[in-house]
Amino acid sequence: MSTADATVRAILGDRRSMSPREHGTAYAPANVALVKYWGKRDETLNLPRTASLSVSLGGLGTYTGIRPIDGDTDRVTLNDEPVAPESSFGRRLSTFLDLFRRPDGPRFDIRTRNTIPTAAGLASSASGYAALVMALDQLYAWKLTPREQSVLARLGSGSASRSVYSGFVLWRLGSQPDGLDSYAEPLPMTWPDLRVGVITISSTDKGLGSRPAMRRTMETSALYSTWPEIVGRDLRQIQSALQHNDFQTLGIVAERNAMAMHATMLGAWPPILYWQPGTVDALHRLWRLRDDGLAVYATMDAGPNIKVLFQAADTAALSAAFPDLQIIAPFGE
Amino acid sequence: MSTADATVRAILGDRRSMSPREHGTAYAPANVALVKYWGKRDETLNLPRTASLSVSLGGLGTYTGIRPIDGDTDRVTLNDEPVAPESSFGRRLSTFLDLFRRPDGPRFDIRTRNTIPTAAGLASSASGYAALVMALDQLYAWKLTPREQSVLARLGSGSASRSVYSGFVLWRLGSQPDGLDSYAEPLPMTWPDLRVGVITISSTDKGLGSRPAMRRTMETSALYSTWPEIVGRDLRQIQSALQHNDFQTLGIVAERNAMAMHATMLGAWPPILYWQPGTVDALHRLWRLRDDGLAVYATMDAGPNIKVLFQAADTAALSAAFPDLQIIAPFGE
């Protein structure tokens, strides 16, 4: 059986015995999938059941600095607050770091800061693990390729594989059991007019984590059998839309894909419903705007919040309809 | 191509030339599908894509009286209010009646009364068309078999095929293009302890009718391809649950089937979402009750309201959680 440790050995090779320098720092953006990652074929290596495609969120992401320290526990600071080593976040982080050091290797001081407002309800684990791998790379001067960074970030969180790049990113499915061919790559297109707006319904904990939710969907939802085909079709259509600067198709495919993902969850037993009453209210309002002629589309991840896709020219109309909308320009203003 | 007229001719034969008597009256119950009817293979004859299974709602339904009158338009009274002949309801009814009379045949005075509170948001077209066919049968003394009544009621509204019976009812898929083998039959089981509670979220018009919603789902939802298999599995499991008086399985299968139906709609383009914010709120509350040990399950049709399935012994607990719950005993108290 392939393990995360085997992946690290395969990638780092002799570099595993290198000594850390004084300090490493890195930044990685958050990302929003336009064609979703939902379901793992390998839970240990976070290998996905399908490929996926995302857009990174520019300046919204995670800064991480890391340096070796004396002592026998890692010291983690998140947004200027110390993280308890025995918390689930602290333990998950140290377990991940253990992949890169011998049992008698160094402990680390890690300072990490999300530029994603906590209230926005955007996941930070993708940018967090991507930034951490990139900071480790700098700390040890491994000189990893982006592809290697992507594979290693994936071991921390599947969608982190996409957060080592900015812009549009394709996470390749791969076919090898060791997962070394399941990495993300940047797509060459830019889309300066693209805007991502976040409608925050709730910033509190979503309850069921995406890992058990994916598992339950795969194990119990009869609708999941269609998901790989849906993703295949949607990846083809959205890449064509990117090539032709066809915003309407981009939006339709992204919304249809997100709704299909939530539909597969609804078909699970017990049903998985991340939506809150405010989610449904916002969706109906958004669809009315679209019926009135505004080119706006929704995408949603494993939580109650809605990300809307629109074009720069429609910013005022969107802000009028959703005064609390937080607007992101993935390719800059 | 088979037409509704051909169905009527095949069933009535010579009886089509019979003269009406003075009066016919009938009652038919509303029904709630435990395994849903979603999608037509023939829109003219209301032939379904799959079989379905329902429970009739006892005393909640439609009383209809019919008598021939002079004049050249039908006169329809619904719950003591006259229905305008040019309204969509009035036109649909007269078009249906035209199937049973020659162009120079009689006009009718129809008085119909729903015992379903309008506010409950329960569909009345099923009980309405079933009662109308049964009243016509009496008016003309055709002496139709229940199976023939079921086929004729289906021409008015698909789910009306099930409303000619009380108790549990199976609507057979059939395979003939003329639809004469697509009729409902009663199942021999009774379940005195079964309760159906209605959580009314909204009693106003649902917007998109189920006919165009079914069509859009079939034409655009990639998830619909799995629906026939889901129904096949659910029909087997729920009939086994009925045989073994296994309420938990009955509830699980019914809720899972309803959620899968709504999931196929969510996968349509544009997405179809009958739910309102209150729907999501009630579902989450219901699921918390179930997590706390109460055997309660949800089913939903093409609208925002929720029907909950539970057992008589849990009536007080359900009423405490949902004070406005309207409780129906399909097999009597």
Asked if residue A238 lies in contact with residue B238, where contact means CB atoms within 8 angstroms, the answer is: no
Model pLDDT for residues B187-201, shown as the tens digit of each residue? 999 999 999 999 999
Q: Closest approach of chain B CAs to the CA of A225, in angstroms?
A: 8
The answer to whether B269 contacts A287, with C-beta atoms less than 8 Å apart, is: no
State whether B260 and A273 contact (CB < 8 Å): no
Domain architecture of chain A: domains with CATH: 4-186 (3.30.230.10), 194-328 (3.30.70.890)
Tens-digit pLDDT string for chain B (333 aa): 579 999 999 999 999 989 999 999 999 999 999 999 999 999 999 999 999 999 999 999 999 999 999 999 999 999 999 999 999 999 999 999 999 998 888 999 999 999 987 666 677 899 999 999 999 999 999 999 999 999 999 999 999 999 999 999 999 999 999 999 999 999 999 999 999 999 999 887 668 999 999 999 999 999 999 999 999 999 999 999 999 999 999 999 999 999 999 999 999 999 999 999 999 999 999 999 999 999 999 999 999 999 999 999 999 999 999 999 999 999 987
* Alpha-carbon radius of gyration of chain A: 20
- The residue among A216, A226, A213, A273 whose CA lies nearest residue B230 is A226
Task: Give the tokens for residue A253.
Answer: 């495919």
Question: Chain A residues with CB inside 8 Å of B259's CB?
Answer: 266-267, 271
Asked if A273 and B280 come within 8 Å (Cβ–Cβ), the reply is: yes
Q: Which helix (H) or strand (E) holds A116?
A: none
- Phi/psi class of residue A11: alpha, beta or left (left: φ > 0; alpha: ψ in -120 to 50)? alpha
B277, closest residue in chain A (CA to CA): A277
Cβ within 8 Å, pair B277-A273: no
- CB-nearest to A287 from B229, B259, B270 is B270
**R_g of chain B, CA atoms, integer Å:** 20
Residue of A nearest to B267 (CA): A260
Contact residues, chain B, for A258 at CB < 8 Å: none
Distance in angstroms (rounded) separating the CA atoms of residues A117 and A62: 11
Put simply, the answer to whether B222 touches A260 (Cβ < 8 Å) is: yes
CB distance A280–B270 less than 8 Å?
Answer: no
State the number of CA atoms in the 13 A half-sphere of B234 facing the CB: 32
Shortest CA distance to B196 belongs to which of B81, B77, B307?
B307
- Looking at residue A295, what is its pLDDT? 98
**Minimal Cβ distance to A259: which of B233, B266, B275:** B266
- Beta-carbon contacts of B257 under 8 Å, excluding residues fewer than 6 positions away, are B34, B35, B36, B230, B231, B234, B238, B299
Residue B19: count of CB within 10 angstroms of its CB: 10
Question: Across the interface, which of A252, A262, A275 has its CB nearest the CB of B269?
Answer: A252
Is-contact A250 B239, C-beta < 8 A?
A: no
**Measured between alpha carbons, how far is B264 from B37 in angstroms, rounded to an integer?**
12
pTM: 0.96
- Compute the nearest-CA separation of B292 from chain A (Å): 14
Q: Tell me the pLDDT of chain A (333 aa) as tens digits.
A: 579 999 999 999 999 989 999 999 999 999 999 999 999 999 999 999 999 999 999 999 999 999 999 999 999 999 999 999 999 999 999 999 999 998 888 999 999 999 987 666 677 899 999 999 999 999 999 999 999 999 999 999 999 999 999 999 999 999 999 999 999 999 999 999 999 999 999 887 668 999 999 999 999 999 999 999 999 999 999 999 999 999 999 999 999 999 999 999 999 999 999 999 999 999 999 999 999 999 999 999 999 999 999 999 999 999 999 999 999 999 987
B229 and A222 within 8 Å at the Cβ level: the answer is: yes
Residues with Cβ within 8 Å of B72's Cβ and at least 6 positions away in sequence, in order, are B107
Q: In 3D, which of A103, A49, A87 has the Cα closest to residue A228? A: A49
Per the CB < 8 A criterion, the answer to whether A150 and A184 are in contact is yes
- Of B255, B266, B278, which is closest to A277 when you measure between CB atoms? B278
Q: Residue A160, SS3? A: helix
Instruction: For residues A37 and A51, give the distance between their C-alpha atoms in angstroms, rounded to a whole number.
Output: 7
Whole-angstrom Cα distance, residue B322 to residue B317? 9
Token pair 């199942």 is found at B187
State whether B287 and A279 contact (CB < 8 Å): no
How many contacts does A have with B, using Cβ atoms within 8 A? 84
Closest-CA distance, A263 to chain B, in angstroms, reads 4
Of the candidates B226, B233, B280, the beta carbon closest to that of A223 is on B226
b (16+ CB within 10 A) / e for B153-173:
bbbbbbbbbbbbbbbbbbbbb
Q: What is the pLDDT of residue A211?
A: 94
In 3D space, the residue among A130, A303, A129 whose CA is nearest the CA of residue A209 turns out to be A303
DSSP A220-270: H-GGGGGHHHHHHHHHHHHHHHHHTT-HHHHHHHHHHHHHHHHHHHHTSSS
Q: Which chain B positions have a beta carbon within 8 Å of A266's beta carbon? A: 259-260, 262-263, 266
Q: Write the ipTM.
A: 0.95
Taking an 8 Å cut-off on Cβ atoms, the answer to whether A280 and B275 are in contact is yes
Distance of alpha carbon B109 from alpha carbon B76, whole angstroms: 6
> For residues A126 and A163, is the Cβ–Cβ distance under 8 A?
yes
If residue A125 lies in a helix (H) or strand (E), which one and from where to where?
A: helix A125-140
Residue showing tokens 């959703």: A322
End-to-end CA distance of chain B: 47
Contacts of B290 in chain A (CB under 8 A): 270
List, in sequence order, every residue forming a beta bridge with A77; answer none if it has no partner: A82, A111
Residue A315 to residues A197, A281, A282, A296, B93: CA-CA distances in angstroms? 9, 20, 17, 10, 48
Separation between Cα atoms, residue A38 and residue A40, nearest integer Å? 7
Mutation target to probe the B interface, by most B beta carbons within 10 A, among A223, A252, A296 is A223
3-state secondary structure chain B: CCCHHHHHHHHHHHHHHCCCCCCEEEEEEEEEEEECCCCEEECCCCEECCCEEEEEEEEEEEEEEEEEECCCCCEEEECCEEECCCCHHHHHHHHHHHCCCCCCCCEEEEEEEECCCHHHCCCCHHHHHHHHHHHHHHHHCCCCCHHHHHHHHHHHCHHHHHCCCCCEEEECCCCCCCCCCCCEEECCCCCCCEEEEEECCCCCCCCCCHHHHHHHHHHHCHHHHHHHHHHHHHHHHHHHHHHCCCHHHHHHHHHHHHHHHHHHHHCCCCCCCCCCHHHHHHHHHHHHHHHCCCCCEEECCCCCCEEEEEEHHHHHHHHHHCCCCEEECCCCC
